[in-house]
Chains A and B, each alone.
Chain A
Amino acid sequence: MRVPLSGLALIDVSKSFGDVPVLERVSLRIAPREFIAFLGPSGSGKSTLLRIIAGLETADSGEVWLDGERIDTRPPGARGIAMVFQHYALYPHMTVRENMAFGLRNAGVAKDEIARRIAQAADILEIGAQLDKKPGQMSGGQRQRVAIGRAIVKQPRLFLLDEPLSNLDAALRGRTRVELAQLRTRVDAALIMVTHDQAEAMTLADRIVILDDCCIQQVGTPAEVYTRPANAFVARFVGSPPMAMLPGVVAGEEAGRVRVRLAGGAVLATDVPAGGLVAGTEVDVGLRPEHVRLAAPGEEGLAAEVELVERLGDRTFLYARLADGAEIVALEPGFGTLRPGEAAALVIDAAAAHIFTAGGAAHHPEPSA
């Protein structure tokens, strides 16, 4: 594998803790100044991958390169990387100023240069008034800024953010999300953020790396992972509520597009190209909530029973069960009137359906021109 001269490259990184594998031959390229999110459930290895890049864990095998230099053999402080820790990890007995200066002093940066960088970072982050306070005297949001400031002053080539928003309350989280989006425009570095919150990943990242089961499941832009998930796991993991999976059988094709018969007997004329999907194959039909709606009065629909109603004000999600037992989620605009236990008739936008075969491979709709 050729190593790029700029950006970050992970080559066949593997790691296990004892007998438990955490990462298996993970390879990834990240461009300079790119904002990447590592997204995955707990235990997917996303934090371990971040810590291997930082040098806080050692990979069992594989290489990490940054801007054409191999860095996995270097100590954490000599990699040109700064990290914002989940719990901030500020030095409790040092003032904000000392916290930010600590790494620079260790690196032998000149005194006036340290002062200049701290003043600049404090200005950007609006923590100038707090420079002589200690972390214990500050709120969670302020500590977060200090942690970011401590990373900025190092002028790293790569920023690592470990669950940066998980410790903040809802209001602060929204504001900090905006600040992180601004951060990337102010720093001349790539950013990698670990998160289990897909909304964070979708709103902030240029590309999302979805990890599960020790491997990268998909790398793509937020739009790509949402509209063309690489497999059933990604399809279910990205999107809230998750994509519904209706079991069915390939019934044949029409004009090169697959028709699927659901377990309840209804036949969906999808927009998925027929290539490779032969009649009789058992498949799952993936449907996002926005592609399932309530039937209009007089319109024919699939009979379902509402099990749970999630009202978000502007829209309402109906978690329902079809007559054949499959679970499905429908989207209703506005506040909704149905209640759990009531019957509903649902209309499926078959043209938007995805098809997943038993092996997990995905087939996406491709509207004919």
Chain B
Amino acid sequence: MNAAARDRWAGYAFVGPFLLVYAAVLVVPLAMGLVISLHRADLFGRRAWIGLGNYTQALGDPVLHQALGNTILLALLIVPPLTVIALLLALALNRPGRFAAILRGVFFSSLVLSVTIVTLIWRFILTPDAGLIAEGLEAAGHAPIPFLSDPDLVIPAIAVTTLWWSLGFPVMLILAGLQQVPGDIYEAAALDGASRWTVLRRITLPAIRRTLLLVVMLQTAAQLQLFGQAQLLTGGGPGGASRTIVLYIFEVSFGRWELGYATAIAELLFGMIIALTLLQYWLVTRHEGQRT
């Protein structure tokens, strides 16, 4: 065996274990899901072929349409503010010193809490009877606001909870991006008489735009799959006002036992996330054209 062939086999050997796991837990289930979605199926393994029946049902399902609207609204309320707040925090924390290091740890710490803990904390804050905000409002002579039972307020309440919970990771990603920017171009900018605003706009943001793209792509994909907060805070209510797509998939499969239909919705969601991610990537990178 010559050296090139040996290198090639060594390469396969290194990526092999990953490819096996990737295929076993991702590719195979995806393919199986596609098959199941073409059947009327329940959790006991009974299946009857109905072709695209589940998909046509999805097109006319008003509950799914409501869940889709809720999910998109949540993603819109979460991803842009999350990116901006994470950017501002990262810019503020991107400095040497013990204080900044401690704050970096604090902002990252919310990420290690499970969704159960996070929703518990926010229940204490949001609940109209003796919640933190309610107490504050009452002290100011104002009636408590029923954040979790007003159809117009549940989505913002879930969005705020999610923002608080999800901030740590984007901050870390953006900090890592900021620290990749060589320091001497900031010195060159200082000698070029650039104001702080100009430095941010013309030096820093272009330098970390790929990191920002990554944050937006990851967060969009994550928030379109929002589930735990909605289920635990509101159970999707009131009247479905906070039901998300994944929550609906959960209800359809484990409540109504319609596994085939649930899988079809899941495949549709998967396609939507892939399409959005590719669209974002294309929008940001289409002008780059050449390597930078």
Residues of chain A having any CB pair with chain B under 8 Å: 54-56, 75-78, 81-83, 85-87, 89-94, 102-103, 106-107, 134, 136-137, 150, 154
Contacts and interface: CB of A to CB of B under 8 A. Distances in A.
Contact of B188 (A55, A78, A85, A136): A85
B72 interface: no
Contacts of B182: 87, 89
10 contacts: A56-B191, A76-B190, A77-B190, A77-B194, A89-B182, A90-B188, A91-B202, A91-B203, A103-B194, A136-B290
Nearest to A136: B292
Nearest to A133: B290
Contacts of B193: 75-78, 103, 106-107
B61 interface: no
A147 to B, nearest CB: 9
Contact of A137 (B198, B202, B290): B290
B46 interface: no
B159 to A, nearest CB: 33
B185 A83 contact: no
A136 B291 contact: yes
A106 B191 CA distance: 10
Given A85-B184, A92-B292, A54 B191 contact: yes
B31 to A, nearest CB: 41
B207 interface: yes
Nearest to B195: A106
A90 B192 contact: no
B194 A106 contact: yes
B193 to A, nearest CB: 3
B291 to A, nearest CB: 6
A248 B185 CA distance: 53
A81 B187 CA distance: 13
B191 A81 contact: yes
A85 B190 CA distance: 13
Nearest to B194: A106
B167 to A, nearest CB: 27
A109 to B, nearest CB: 11
B187 A89 contact: yes
A91 B188 contact: yes
Given A136-B291, A136-B292, A137-B291, A87 B191 contact: no
Given A85-B184, A89-B185, A93-B206, A103 B291 contact: no
Q: Which 10 A-B pairs have the closest CB atoms?
A: A77-B193, A103-B192, A89-B184, A89-B188, A93-B206, A106-B193, A76-B190, A76-B191, A89-B185, A106-B194
A83 B188 CA distance: 8
A78 B206 CA distance: 25
A138 B62 CA distance: 57
Contact of A87 (B184, B203, B207, B291): B184
A86 B184 CA distance: 9
Given A89-B185, A90-B185, A77 B290 contact: no
Given A55-B191, A94-B206, A106-B192, 15 more contacts: A56-B187, A56-B191, A76-B191, A76-B193, A78-B193, A83-B188, A85-B184, A85-B188, A86-B184, A87-B182, A89-B185, A91-B188, A91-B189, A93-B292, A102-B192
Nearest to B292: A136
A89 B181 CA distance: 11
A34 B98 CA distance: 45
B38 to A, nearest CB: 47
A83 B190 CA distance: 11
Nearest to A135: B292
Contacts of B202: 91, 94, 102
A106 B198 CA distance: 8
B191 A83 contact: yes
A92 B290 CA distance: 12
Contacts of A76: 187, 190-191, 193
Contacts of A93: 206-207, 292
A307 to B, nearest CB: 42
Contacts of B195: 106
Contact of B191 (A90, A103, A134, A137): A103
A132 B188 CA distance: 20
Contacts of B188: 83, 85, 89-91, 150
Nearest to A56: B187
A67 B103 CA distance: 46
Contacts of A82: 191
Contacts of B206: 93-94
A134 B187 contact: no
A197 to B, nearest CB: 20
A54 B184 CA distance: 13
Contacts of B292: 92-93, 134, 136
Nearest to B198: A106
Contact of A56 (B190, B192, B203, B207): B190
